[in-house]
Structure 1
Amino acid sequence: MWHAVSFALMDSINVLLIGVIVTIGVLLPPRAAYRRIAALLVGGDWLGVFLLSIPTLAVFDLIKDKVQAALESPVFGIILIAVGVLGAVMTFRGGDNTALVNKIMQPLQVPTWKTAATGFVLGVVQSATSVPFFAGLAYLSAGGFSVGFRYTALFLYATLALSLPFLTAVLIGFVRAFPNSPAGRGFEWARNNTEILTPIAGYGVSLILTIMGIAHLV
């Protein structure tokens, strides 16, 4: 179970969603409905992660023996290391999500169904391209838990996968309400130093994946 939790927490380091939340907090006027917009965005993302996790777990359950064998194989550790190294290389090469974030911002000016739909799409796309997402569900499937427990645990799994964006949304809301607080000044520093913090997040995930891969091989 610890492996599933740890991979879900790694999946929560969603740089794109966090960037969108920060952009909303910065660009929306003081009287805008930030709380409702952020709630719909994060809630839609959670729903996307949760709904994708159900068929994914169902598929893993159908091939549980192969999943178990893959998790016990040194190949799994090699894959984690390879993904970690690839992630570090991509982080080093850099990339600018500004244009994508600006495009995503268009339906996020007011709280409507489009806000939740945007979050839903982000949740599905981010999870479908995330190795930690699939790795965590693989461990949940092969962990020897009952069917009821596994599928009930998906609520917790999706919640953990959205924990960091949720905390970011709460922090941004606090900063908007108290811009002169220590948290507000810290946010201002972070906003002005995204070129430092974004690579740190990328390298952090890559390092964790590499360490877990090495530990799997030892």
Structure 2
Amino acid sequence: MIQAVSFGLLDSLNALLIGVIVALGVMLPRNAAYRRIVTLLIAGDWFGVFVLSFITMVVFDGIRDLVQRALDSPVFGILLIITGVLTFVATLRGDGGGDSPLVRRILDPLQAPSFKTVVVGFILGLAQSATSIPFFTGLAYLSAGDYHAAVRYGGLVVYASLALSLPALSAVFVGLVRAYPYSVFGRAFEWMRGNREVVVKLASYIVAVALTLFGVVKLL
């Protein structure tokens, strides 16, 4: 269970969703319905993560023996290390700003709270999770664990919530900045906005190092 929680928290380092939330905080007028928009966006994202989690759990439960053998195999640890190293190298060579055009396209239907806001969040949740190694690894541990079906599937609610924990905190932080622009939160936000490349790269480095360490521990 600890492994599943750890990988769920790693999955919360969702640079794209956090980037969208920050961009909304900057671009929306002060009288705009920021809270409602972000709440609907995160709710849709959560539902996307939950749906993919449920589908993945059903698949993993159907091949549980294979999943368990994969987790027990040293090959799994080696794959985690390779993924971590490749992520580190890609982050080192990247400019940290590759999501900007995509973020701008996503913002168009998010100018006011509507059903489209939930749909955008849902798509973001599916896309982020489907391309996340920590997401599938955490579910593999949850599926392979000796837990009752009610615990495994009920735990998906917590798992999806963990995956959205950092974006949700980011939304609260940005909301505080909008309400108190000259507070310590406002100054911190200005620094982060001026150093977006550093912030994005730091999140990627954390994921890369964590995956590598998990792989090393698995081999010991």
Which TM-score applies when normalising by structure 1? 0.99
Runs (4+) off by over 4 Å: none
What residue number does 1:20 align with?
20
Letter in 2 for 1:85: V
- Per-residue CA deviations over 1:90-144 (Å, capped at 9, x if unaligned) read 1122152110000000001000111110010000011001000000000000110
Q: SS of the counterpart of 1:110?
A: coil
Q: What is the RMSD of the two structures over their aligned residues, measured on CA atoms?
A: 0.7
State the 1:37 CA deviation.
Answer: 0.4
What residue number does 2:167 align with?
165
What residue number does 2:76 align with?
76
What residue number does 1:64 align with?
64
- Per-residue CA deviations over 1:10-31 (Å, capped at 9, x if unaligned) read 0000000000000000000000
State the 1:50 CA deviation.
Answer: 0.2
Letter in 2 for 1:56: T
- Per-residue CA deviations over 1:24-64 (Å, capped at 9, x if unaligned) read 00000000000000001111000000011011001100110
Q: 1: CA distance between counterparts of 2:199 and 2:131?
A: 22
Q: How do residues 1-218 of structure 1 correspond to structure 2 at under 5 angstroms? A: 1-95=1-95, 96-218=98-220
Letter in 2 for 1:70: A
Q: 1: CA distance between counterparts of 2:186 and 2:172?
A: 12
Letter in 2 for 1:54: F
- Per-residue CA deviations over 1:152-198 (Å, capped at 9, x if unaligned) read 00000000000000000011111100111111111111111112111
Letter in 2 for 1:148: A
Which TM-score applies when normalising by structure 2? 0.98
Query: Gaps (5+ residues) in structure 2?
Result: none
Q: 2: CA distance between counterparts of 1:142 and 1:98?
A: 38
Q: 2: CA distance between counterparts of 1:120 and 1:67?
A: 27
Q: 1: CA distance between counterparts of 2:86 and 2:80?
A: 10
Greater shift after overlay, 15-24 or 87-96?
A: 87-96
Letter in 2 for 1:128: A
Q: SS of the counterpart of 1:31?
A: coil
Q: SS of the counterpart of 1:99?
A: helix
Letter in 2 for 1:10: L
Q: SS of the counterpart of 1:144?
A: coil
Q: Aligned pair count?
A: 218
Letter in 1 for 2:182: N
Q: 2: CA distance between counterparts of 1:99 and 1:194?
A: 14
